[in-house]
Structure 1
């Protein structure tokens, strides 16, 4: 199936909220969504939810929670296993939609859908692994134990860079543990969420267990955070917005699960062959056009290795082919919007003003077939100083900085010297250095001799300005989606 032919027959629809199992009509102020690789292509019009819409969705989810929580865990898990199967069966259509509204190349979109299926299967298994403990009682003929209870309605607020896997990462464990959900996708990528709702419906998830409200963060998002029946908010997005959400929730003693920004380092201390190191770093830096929280954006390398590593990275960037998702040769797509491209270019210009040297790329691609999209060259800079804006602040685009340091001690210091702490990589043949970095790195996820790719069964999260609350994906989700209860029994 050809993506462009499929899109020609699929674009232009109008989509509203899905509340209490009913797909509603888009309201009069529905917003148009355009293809970032072809901005003249309107993908559809999507509702802008009101406070009343949000209230109806949360009320429906709360009503459904009273019965969903009583469904045995293995039965809930069976429905999620079925949803994972449907994701795989519909991978091509979902990848077309994902690439059309987000811009990433088809190979990445297919990979995202398949990763979502993996994570959903792990969550399905979690429905049978809700654990507690049994302890000796202080009293004769007594029993003491702990158990878990679902928190209730969860607001799942998702970002635009991973519009399939991130909602699944929130909805899957919520349903496994007995919670119900109101999903608010990013207003730039709502089409994927609409199709994802079809997956859960067709898998047999009862109506109202998952509800969808469309619209902006300032509108629907804020209304969700404020709603008194919402007992948990799982949010992925910027650190600033996450901090604001957490402050609001703390006043009402509502729990938060926050996945926020990153400024992730790759520390390079030694290697047998520089080629695989550069390949790992480039893959982690430029996947999703650098628009992901776990992207490597800093290479902290010993002075003695800096030139060789920089040359190897330059060769990797030269091999990247920028283009639209439907181009089979493309390996990197456009930025999400023109506004975001301007922001990335502004950060790049600031880095050059601070003394960095441009080694590759840095330009806008606006000729020929790329003229109608938000394309930019993959970019590499060296001579970046650790205390500059480019070295410390999140760019969220295809820009990679090389920072040279004299020794391992300084490398570890520079790696930690930012407000973020999401993911970090080290490349070394010295096992002592590797374990020291694993221990001392101020990050939630540490990678040794490979990029910042996570796996579908391990906890995912960060520290410092990169996250707050229970980590997602793994069994750590239990700490967010359930409440701990102690029980005392006298025989």
Structure 2
């Protein structure tokens, strides 16, 4: 059988399927055994020692050249994302290019890495704070952004002088393998390697492997396991976890524009984004019209294969996740929420017809409910209503998560209060939850641990700090 992505040489493999047409096999990928994993890690250590000696500006030039090559092959990478993950092609290409744009910013951040003079209390002394590459970074990326998340980890790691061993999701590894193929032209051998290991083996690497840091993006439950394993190895972590993100819609001069922002932030990538808006908290006077406009938009979405030009939303990524979204939404409806639009999969969806799920707007949602608290991670938007802004802020912050949030209001006092009180890592005013390429990306509470990705603070994870005292 001819497969589009063939990275297998033995029978112990992961196989991938097209979630829009699950009978279609796409790729085969070797699962390394314990001896091969040990060799991967040993090679990474050797490559990192070589790479760390390359002047920082040259590292940046080579990373920029790598990113130029990724942009040149963005169509191929985007196709792999759409075929294995399911999202529409425009979204797949968009994530690839965004990952490159973030990477270029990190080149600039790394170029500024050096010694920083610090005042001293002694005569004939000078003090400096030095930064060095950490070493080998083990990166674990999820299935929802198969190109952008690996780039978000690879670029700062390499820019600051580290080596990368990347474990992509077994559902969507093609993009990571394509990136690693491109990297061979620009970096020392084995500086960027792929390890398609099981979750259990990944945990063993984190707990016992010769690595100096672990960067993980995924669920809260798995993040806890990674955190515990890293504690055994006493290595730093960078954890990007889940969210039950809310937008407060308090007042606006242009309700259709605000609704468009909220709906887009809720439904992009079929709602499979950690930063997706999954709750909209609406001032009661705006609630009826807001729900009407959301329902109209949901009913207008065309589901379909991500490679087809008329498709506006692809399928969910895999069978297990599709079933979870179906079951959780069904439980929310049984609990009392009302499906104003959607509410489940279209007729014929599933293992034969693809893992599609209708864009869903839930009304009559209570704060302490499944629809108000659980990260469904699908195209499901819960509408909650409030009387006072105090209630809105209480609901906004009243989950275990703290990733991102939004406020739509023209009242400066409410904007300032939101900026001061929203217990989230990222705050947006009068727009959706799409971050800029140069801003810190991360969360608080159960949404993240460690230095944020991208941004000027990423250096705190990808380098170690050293205090130097010089007497003369």
TM tier relative to shorter chain: over 0.9
Aligned to 1:377: 358
Q: Do residues 61 (structure 1) and 53 (structure 2) align?
A: no
Aligned to 2:297: 316
Q: Do residues 435 (structure 1) and 416 (structure 2) align?
A: yes
SS in 1 for 2:258: helix
Q: Do residues 214 (structure 1) and 220 (structure 2) align?
A: no
Q: What do the CA deviations read for 1:26-61 (whole angstroms, capped 9, x no partner)?
A: x31212210001111110111122222221111111
How many residues of Structure 1 are paired with residues of Structure 2 in the alignment?
Answer: 472
1:385-464 aligned at under 5 Å gives the runs: 385-464=366-445
Aligned to 1:19: none
Aligned mate of 1:32, from 15, 23, 32: 15
Aligned mate of 2:32, from 49, 70, 76: 49
Unpaired stretches in structure 2, ≥5 consecutive residues: none
Q: Please give the alpha-carbon distance, in whole angstroms, between the structure 2 residues aligned to 1:146 and 1:293.
A: 35
Q: Please give the alpha-carbon distance, in whole angstroms, between the structure 1 residues aligned to 2:320 and 2:431.
A: 32
Q: Please give the alpha-carbon distance, in whole angstroms, between the structure 1 residues aligned to 2:286 and 2:147.
A: 39
Aligned mate of 2:79, from 92, 96, 102: 96
Aligned mate of 1:72, from 41, 55, 59: 55
Contact 2:349/2:356 (<8 A) preserved: no
Aligned mate of 2:165, from 182, 187, 194: 182
Contact 1:350/1:389 (<8 A) preserved: yes
Aligned mate of 1:472, from 453, 460, 466: 453
TM-score, length basis structure 2: 0.97
Deviation at 1:252, TM superposition (A): 2.7
Relative to structure 1, the CA distance from residue 370 to residue 158 in structure 2 (aligned partners, 3 Å threshold; closer, same or farther) is closer
Aligned to 1:484: 465
Deviation at 1:216, TM superposition (A): 2.6
Q: Which moved more, 1:409-418 or 1:249-258?
A: 249-258
Q: Do residues 227 (structure 1) and 208 (structure 2) align?
A: yes
Q: Please give the alpha-carbon distance, in whole angstroms, between the structure 2 residues aligned to 1:370 and 1:59.
A: 41
Q: What do the CA deviations read for 1:347-402 (whole angstroms, capped 9, x no partner)?
A: 11111111111100123224599963111110001110001122101101111100
Q: Please give the alpha-carbon distance, in whole angstroms, between the structure 1 residues aligned to 2:75 and 2:132.
A: 37
Aligned to 1:349: 330
Aligned to 1:158: 141
Contact 2:373/2:399 (<8 A) preserved: yes
Deviation at 1:463, TM superposition (A): 0.3
Q: What do the CA deviations read for 1:236-282 (whole angstroms, capped 9, x no partner)?
A: 00111111111221233210000000000011110012101111011
Aligned to 1:266: 247
SS in 2 for 1:421: coil
Q: Please give the alpha-carbon distance, in whole angstroms, between the structure 2 residues aligned to 1:225 and 1:50.
A: 16
Deviation at 1:318, TM superposition (A): 2.1
Q: Do residues 11 (structure 1) and 3 (structure 2) align?
A: yes
Q: Please give the alpha-carbon distance, in whole angstroms, between the structure 2 residues aligned to 1:129 and 1:301.
A: 44
Aligned to 1:205: 187
Q: Please give the alpha-carbon distance, in whole angstroms, between the structure 1 residues aligned to 2:465 and 2:350.
A: 56
Aligned to 2:218: 237
Q: Please give the alpha-carbon distance, in whole angstroms, between the structure 1 residues aligned to 2:81 and 2:126.
A: 52
Q: What do the CA deviations read for 1:460-479 (whole angstroms, capped 9, x no partner)?
A: 00000000000001111100
Q: Which moved more, 1:316-325 or 1:185-194?
A: 316-325
Q: Which moved more, 1:131-140 or 1:346-355?
A: 131-140
Q: Please give the alpha-carbon distance, in whole angstroms, between the structure 2 residues aligned to 1:369 and 1:416.
A: 35
Q: Please give the alpha-carbon distance, in whole angstroms, between the structure 1 residues aligned to 2:36 and 2:261.
A: 45
Q: Please give the alpha-carbon distance, in whole angstroms, between the structure 2 residues aligned to 1:208 and 1:366.
A: 47
Relative to structure 1, the CA distance from residue 307 to residue 327 in structure 2 (aligned partners, 3 Å threshold; closer, same or farther) is same
TM-score, length basis structure 1: 0.93
Aligned to 1:4: none
Q: Please give the alpha-carbon distance, in whole angstroms, between the structure 2 residues aligned to 1:303 and 1:69.
A: 58
Contact 2:203/2:225 (<8 A) preserved: no
Contact 1:257/1:480 (<8 A) preserved: yes
Contact 1:36/1:100 (<8 A) preserved: yes
Aligned mate of 1:325, from 280, 299, 306: 306
Aligned to 1:22: none
Aligned to 1:286: 267
Contact 1:37/1:370 (<8 A) preserved: no
